[in-house]
Structure 1
């Protein structure tokens, strides 16, 4: 079972409350709170789409840039020794440190892409 929904580049969680008898979720990977719910999968999906559309409309009305879930960069603390090893390996291969790390991450997540 897939526990996420996607729309216009935004990913939302999907959870179920047995107590309330509803599906619910919120948009992931952004600070803005965009929550939604539904009594079945179709209602949940529609409320998710409406929530994203409302958020984008509100941003347009207020002339602000909507948050994007991923900007394409992030910081990783690897420690001094590993940083040195990675830099030396990149030099040995004749590639940038960034290229080496991107290749390693792609190799580790090949099943998720």
Structure 2
């Protein structure tokens, strides 16, 4: 993976075409790039992000920010209750409790 200005790109190699191609994975907008060498793919990634941001500025559109830190989560009512009660017992907000649980789970991977 590569990161530039908060945008994350992944790269795959197409053996048939003998080319690297990549996608920015942390936006809903489609941003792609390609190159024949590592240097070319890295340059193309940065150039694609810069082109996207420039296009947004010219069009007067707000660029999609990579992850705002907000997302909706749907739980069963029983799990919601259990999490809320446990968070209260730990003197934490539900948000802090869920964030901690996610962090702990990600560390375990």
Fold shared, TM-score > 0.5 on shorter chain: yes
Alpha-carbon contact 1:28-1:69 (below 8 Å) kept: no
2:24 counterpart of 1:23: no
Task: Indicate the residue corresponding to 1:107 in structure 2.
Answer: 104
1:36–1:47 Cα contact (<8 Å) kept: yes
Secondary structure at the aligned position of 2:107 is classed as: coil
Structure (1/2) with the larger helix percentage: 2
Deviation, 1:111, is: 6.2
Does 1:73 pair with 2:84?
no
> What secondary structure sits across from 1:64 in the alignment?
coil
Any idea what SS the aligned residue of 1:16 has? strand
State the 1:44 CA deviation.
Answer: 0.4
| Alignment partners' CA distance in 2, 1:26 and 1:39 | 15
Flag structure 1 segments of 5+ consecutive residues without an equivalent.
Answer: none
Seen in structure 2, the aligned counterparts of structure 1 residues 82 and 111 have a Cα distance that, compared at 3 Å, is closer
With over 3 angstroms needed to count, the CA separation of the structure-2 counterparts of 1:111 and 1:53, relative to structure 1, is: farther
| Aligned residue in 2 for 1:40 | 37
Gaps of 5+ in 2: none
- Partner residue of 2:93 out of 88, 91, 96: 96
Quote how far apart the aligned CAs of 1:7 are: 0.6
DSSP 3-state at the match of 1:109: helix
Q: Deviations over 1:74-105 (max 9, x none)?
A: 12222111111111101111221111111111
Give the match's secondary structure for 1:15. strand
**Count of residue correspondences:** 109
> What's the TM-score once normalised by structure 2's chain length?
0.92
Following TM superposition, by how much is the alpha carbon of 1:50 offset from its aligned partner in structure 2, in angstroms?
Answer: 0.6
